[in-house]
Amino acid sequence: MLAAERRVRSGDVELAVREAGDPDRPTVVLVHGYPDTSARWLPVFERLEPRYHVVSYDVRGAGASSTPRGPNAYSLEHLVGDLGAVIDAVSPS
């Protein structure tokens, strides 16, 4: 399995996104917790890739994603917006 990597913008943050599998299959988005990164999901990618389009991303402030300043930059509203930006980018239909 070779996960493709790309960047997705969410407001003033760039999120590092990994994806594998056929984009025409159902998409599964995996979100890690703090202090992990999307690499945490790579073993799961291998199991899901034959049947799904699998996506994970480094949440804001983690891994290869950009790090905004201030505690308000990590509000639930921002985190939900980031997830929405990733979903829109990888599964626009």
- Counting the structural domains of the chain, the total is 1
More confident residue, 3 or 78: 78
Q: pLDDT confidence of 1, banded at 50, 70, 90?
A: low
Looking up residue 37, the CATH number of its domain turns out to be 3.40.50.1820
CA 11 distance to own-chain centroid? 15
| Residues whose CB is less than 8 angstroms from the CB of residue 70 and which lie 6 or more positions away in sequence, other chains included | none
Q: Classify residue 59 by its DSSP letter.
A: P
pLDDT of residue 68: 97
pTM: 0.93
Domain membership of residue 68 as a residue range: 4-90
pLDDT in tens, 30-88: 999 999 999 999 999 999 999 999 999 999 999 999 999 999 999 999 999 999 999 99
